[in-house]
Structure 1
Amino acid sequence: MVQSHMHATDATNLADLYDLPPVDWAFIQGRLEGGLTQAPGSGGPGRHTCWLTTLNADGSPHVTGIGALYVEGGLWFETGERTRKARNIARDPRCALSLATAEFDLVVEGRASQVTDPSVVAALAARWAGEGWPVSVDESGRALTAEFSAPSAGPPPWFVYRIDLTAATAVRTVDPGGATRWRF
């Protein structure tokens, strides 16, 4: 996996009325690349919880807490194929993910897809293991296994999903402040 940067094709300063500068996408991206650990006291507020919203069959939202990684311009997570979020994504890949860091609150919109390429799955397993989750690639080479995961992930095997961003909105929570929406 080669690190790449997302380039926003369109940015809208949502804080113009307060004479605040637009938030730079490179600042957001750099912070995301620094990691979103789940350990208490490691993020803002208190730790990083990502909230994934998928669409139920009737169009209503399903929101669940997940852990996520930002790699190669996308957000990545894992879950079992029988979870509601996985079933929702298989039917309709549109989703949103929100998270809070000490520097900004962020909501991204995009399309999620299951990724089973063995080299990608192995690279992500190594990243998660490096953050303290003792995960490995299962015998299929296409999914993950470990002694535990979040209860919302269901039982192993856990499959890897990538959210390709179509839009993002950030509200900067530190000086100089600001709020910006990007389209990709």
Structure 2
Amino acid sequence: MPQAPRTELNPAYSDESAVAVEWAQAEALLVEAELFWISTVRPDGRPHVTPLPAVWRDGKLYFCTGAQERKALNLAANPQLVLTTGTNTWNKGFDVVVEGAAVRVTDDARLRTLAAAWECKYGSFWHFDVNDGCFEHGAGKALVFEVAPRTAFGFGKGEPFSQTRWTFGD
């Protein structure tokens, strides 16, 4: 079980009545979220952002992508990324931003567990077979990555506005 993160409210970006949000609330949002936005950096330094589905499991976020997709190519050069989810509104909801490094998952037994989690969350359209350290779907293969949060931010929108920071590890 991952260690609980250090939790801090940033008073500069929070209403006076705001309190730090517990990590369990953010984690519940990560479990339920259907869509995430992944931000990576191209080899020439330009940003790249795209939506994708992801699964939260055992304290980590998991996503998949084709080996020749821009995000996979970016991660091969620089594994640092940001995954974001929340609501597309200003005055209500809660957004979570997770910073970390992508690590490729290649163990077939672990991938089978993750494939089952994908299908459970997203339905049979997202059924994956596992072969040779990859997800397979029809004629395509996908690399699977895990991201252990290094730092995460939560943005409470509406009354009260808040910004919580969670720091993992040292």
- Shared fold (TM-score greater than 0.5)? yes
Asked if 1:62 is matched to 2:59, the reply is no
Asked if 1:112 is matched to 2:96, the reply is no
Give the gaps of 5 or more residues in structure 2: none
Pick from 10, 14, 17 the counterpart of residue 13 of structure 1.
10
**1:181 matched residue in structure 2:** 165
Task: Tell me if the contact between 2:108 and 2:131 (Cα under 8 Å) persists in the aligned partners.
Answer: no
After TM superposition, give the deviation of residue 85 of structure 1 in Å.
0.6
**For residues 125 and 174 of structure 1, what CA distance do their matches in structure 2 show?**
37
**2:151 matched residue in structure 1:** 167
What is the count of residue pairs matched by the alignment? 161
Question: Secondary structure of 1:165's match?
Answer: coil
| Greater fraction strand | 2
After TM superposition, give the deviation of residue 175 of structure 1 in Å.
5.7
- Percent identity, aligned pairs only? 30
Give the gaps of 5 or more residues in structure 1: 38-48, 148-154
Closer/same/farther in 2, CA of residues 11 and 32 from structure 1, 3 Å limit = same
**For residues 19 and 94 of structure 1, what CA distance do their matches in structure 2 show?**
34
Closer/same/farther in 2, CA of residues 54 and 6 from structure 1, 3 Å limit = farther
Task: Give the TM-score, by structure 2 length.
Answer: 0.83
Task: Give the TM-score, by structure 1 length.
Answer: 0.77
Task: Tell me if the contact between 1:109 and 1:166 (Cα under 8 Å) persists in the aligned partners.
Answer: yes
**2:69 matched residue in structure 1:** 83
Closer/same/farther in 2, CA of residues 6 and 21 from structure 1, 3 Å limit = same
Deviations 1:164-184 (A, max 9, x none): 211111112366552211211
Pick from 30, 33, 48 the counterpart of residue 32 of structure 1.
30
